[in-house]
């Protein structure tokens, strides 16, 4: 018989009767169980808030318990915001005092470019044979192999996409007058790091593989026909840094260049006269580019994109050499191959941002600002945790009467009021401008804090940080409440077990109620069947009596 047909035989609403009987037995007890579970879950939530507040407070205590907090230095730079010329970072070794700093020159990389007339199109073929270009800037170096028939635009792309490129950017610039300029810019700064581009021939072995060191590869070959006494070292002309193209004085030989030697030099140069620089440093481009192109039947030599050698086609314009950064600190000039000076002044790292036209004053002092901000963050976090503890334990609150919460409140207040540190100047955090109201909340007095800083900055560290400091005492206290074995987590574990136990008891009780309902239905089904039979018999008797 289905549930819905219960009572159909007797005509009595037995279904409602069963439900009412089950409800009378079940509802009140289930509500007790559910209320108990809800209470445990509210307690668990409250403990979660308390635990979170304690963890946050412990983080602020840990930030306060840092010896380096009180040894830090602050750099005050007399410069306008948005027009900064220097940036300074400090460490604990910096000496307090004032410095006068000038930025005389910023470090920069270098740029080389081709002479006018050397190139006219990005499609100019720069070499008719396989060659290698080597790029050097100080200790930085990379090379590329340039195949015969490579165009200027292809060479530019090959340079810029080289995996070994240390910071060289190649470009093509058209002046609109039929001249195309090839430029290469190096990001490597420092006076000794001006970019050099060297062209060398490519030597291949029998299989067509490039030989990196052809001289070494052939070192086993000897010239047997030449007598030993006839072999001699080639002479190398002494190079004098003071000799400039166009000078009429040979500084290496301390005298004018003889006319015959000038003639020989001119004849040997032929059509590959080097680029010259006038007395003012201006670039004077000769007809080298056009003559080189004609000599190669319309195909340029790769020397046109190198800076070394008598046929070099690239030069460094005046002012585009790589250079050092130069600053002056208290009248002492200091150089660096980049714009950061890490060792110029002990404890300071100075970054030059822009040249100055007047001296910039820098004052180095104790980092009072960071100390104050850290104490204020500690106060805010303390007030938060006290607020959570009070709200959780007030009358009618879930954790009202909880001994763990009550003891923590009392212990925090006691730690703040106790003496800490080994200094006789300050005995508690209240000597530094911290105040407590009648509700246990803290506030901060800036004026009193400033006076304390002046009174004895070095005595603040032992009061707050260190083995006997306030922060360490608070950390030791909070360790009892945090972590997997801390009191708050132990309480939460206990509450979770109570929830699980209560939910288990509720589930068992509901199973019993299901069996109780099944029992009632079985009994009422039997009753309904009997009543149906009795009704049938009564009906039969009534019909018989009616016929008599």
Note whether 184 and 294 are same-domain residues. yes
pLDDT digits (tens, 9 = 90+) for 245-299: 433 434 344 444 444 444 444 444 444 333 333 333 334 344 444 444 433 444 4
Residue 331: pLDDT band with limits 50, 70, 90: very high
* Amino acid 5: pLDDT: 63
Q: Is the pLDDT of residue 153 over 70?
A: yes
Cα separation, 64 vs 429, in Å, equals: 12
Least-confidence region, from 104-113, 184-193, 522-531: 522-531
Higher pLDDT, 536 or 505: 505
* Structural domain contains residue 43: yes
Q: Is the pLDDT of residue 226 over 90?
A: no
Closest CA to 188 of 37, 75, 322, 364: 322
Note whether 63 and 86 are same-domain residues. no
Note whether 347 and 293 are same-domain residues. no
* Amino acid 293: pLDDT: 44
Note whether 188 and 40 are same-domain residues. no
Q: How far is CA 295 from CA 125, 274, 300, 524, 543, in A?
A: 14, 16, 9, 121, 140
* Percent with pLDDT over 70 in the chain: 78
Note whether 121 and 147 are same-domain residues. yes
* Amino acid 207: pLDDT: 61
φ, ψ dihedrals at 208, nearest 5°: 90, 5
Residue 233: pLDDT band with limits 50, 70, 90: very low
Note whether 391 and 294 are same-domain residues. no
Cα separation, 171 vs 111, in Å, equals: 11
Cα separation, 124 vs 305, in Å, equals: 12
Given CA atoms 300, 305, 306, 312 in this order, what sign does their dihedral have?
A: positive
Note whether 187 and 303 are same-domain residues. yes
What is the value of pTM for the model shown?
0.57
Cα separation, 355 vs 362, in Å, equals: 16
As given in the structure block, the two tokens for residue 113 are: 């470019």
142 and 164 Cβ atoms separated by less than 8 Å: yes
Domain count for the chain: 3
Higher pLDDT, 21 or 144: 144
Strands (E), 187-324: 196-201, 203-204, 210-211, 249-250, 255-256, 276-277, 283-284, 314-315
Instruction: Give the chain's end-to-end CA distance (angstroms, integer).
Output: 37
* Mean pLDDT to the nearest integer, 183-196: 96
As given in the structure block, the two tokens for residue 496 are: 């979770």
Helix (H) or strand (E) holding 175: none
Parent domain of 293 = 110-206+282-315
Task: Give CA angle at 374 (373, 375), nearest 5°.
Answer: 90
Residue 221: pLDDT band with limits 50, 70, 90: very low
Given CA atoms 444, 450, 453, 455 in this order, what sign does their dihedral have?
A: negative
Closest CA to 195 of 134, 114, 137: 137
H helix runs in 117-198, sequence order? 152-160
Partnered with residue 437 across adjacent β-strands are: none
């Amino acid at each position: 018989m289905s549930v819905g047909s219960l009572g159909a035989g007797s005509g009595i609403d037995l279904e409602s009767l069963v439900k009412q009987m089950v409800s009378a037995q079940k509802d009140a007890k289930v509500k007790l169980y559910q209320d108990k579970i809800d209470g445990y879950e509210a307690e668990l939530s409250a403990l979660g808030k308390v635990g979170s507040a304690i963890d946050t407070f412990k983080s602020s205590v840990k930030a306060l318990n840092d010896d380096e907090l009180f040894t830090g230095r602050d750099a005050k730079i007399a410069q306008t915001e948005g027009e900064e010329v220097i940036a300074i970072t400090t460490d604990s070794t910096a000496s307090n005092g004032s410095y006068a700093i000038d930025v005389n020159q910023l470090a920069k990389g270098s740029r080389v470019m081709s002479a006018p007339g050397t190139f006219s199109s990005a499609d100019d073929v720069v070499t008719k044979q396989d060659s290698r270009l080597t790029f050097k800037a100080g200790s930085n170096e990379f090379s590329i192999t340039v195949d015969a028939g490579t165009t200027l635009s292809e060479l530019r792309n090959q340079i810029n996409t080289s995996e070994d490129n240390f910071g060289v950017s190649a470009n093509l610039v058209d002046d609109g007058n039929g001249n195309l300029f090839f430029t290469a810019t190096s990001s490597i700064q420092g006076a000794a790091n001006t970019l050099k581009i060297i062209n060398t021939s490519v030597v291949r072995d029998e299989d067509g593989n490039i030989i990196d060191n052809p001289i070494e590869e052939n070192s086993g070959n000897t010239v047997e026909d030449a007598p030993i006494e006839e072999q001699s070292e080639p002479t190398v002309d002494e190079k004098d840094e003071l000799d400039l193209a166009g000078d009429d004085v040979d500084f290496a030989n301390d005298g004018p260049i003889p006319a015959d030697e000038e003639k020989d030099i001119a004849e040997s140069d032929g059509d590959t006269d080097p680029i010259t620089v006038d007395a003012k440093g201006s670039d004077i481009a000769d007809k080298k580019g056009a003559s080189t192109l004609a000599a190669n039947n319309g195909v340029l030599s790769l020397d046109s994109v190198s800076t070394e050698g008598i046929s070099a086609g690239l030069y460094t314009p005046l002012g585009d050499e790589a250079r050092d950064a130069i600053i002056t600190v208290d009248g002492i000039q200091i150089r660096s191959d980049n714009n950061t000076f890490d060792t110029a002044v002990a404890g300071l790292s100075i970054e030059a941002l822009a040249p100055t036209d007047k001296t910039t004053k820098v004052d180095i002092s104790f980092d009072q600002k960071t100390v104050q901000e850290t104490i204020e963050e500690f106060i805010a976090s303390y007030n938060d945790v006290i607020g959570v503890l009070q709200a959780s334990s007030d009358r009618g609150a879930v954790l009202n009467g909880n001994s763990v919460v009550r003891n923590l409140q009392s212990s925090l207040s006691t730690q703040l009021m106790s003496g800490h540190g080994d200094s006789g100047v300050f005995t508690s955090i209240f000597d530094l401008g911290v105040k407590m109201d009648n509700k246990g909340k803290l506030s901060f007095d800036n004026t009193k804090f400033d006076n304390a800083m002046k009174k004895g900055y070095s005595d603040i560290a032992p009061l707050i940080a260190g083995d006997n400091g306030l922060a360490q005492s608070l950390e030791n206290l909070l360790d009892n409440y945090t972590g997997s074995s801390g009191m708050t987590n132990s309480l939460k574990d206990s509450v979770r077990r109570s929830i699980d136990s209560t939910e288990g008891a509720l589930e068992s009780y509901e199973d019993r109620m299901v069996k109780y309902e099944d029992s009632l239905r079985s009994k009422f089904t039997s009753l309904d069947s009997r009543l149906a039979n009795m009704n049938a018999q009564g009906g039969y008797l009534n019909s018989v009596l009616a016929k008599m």
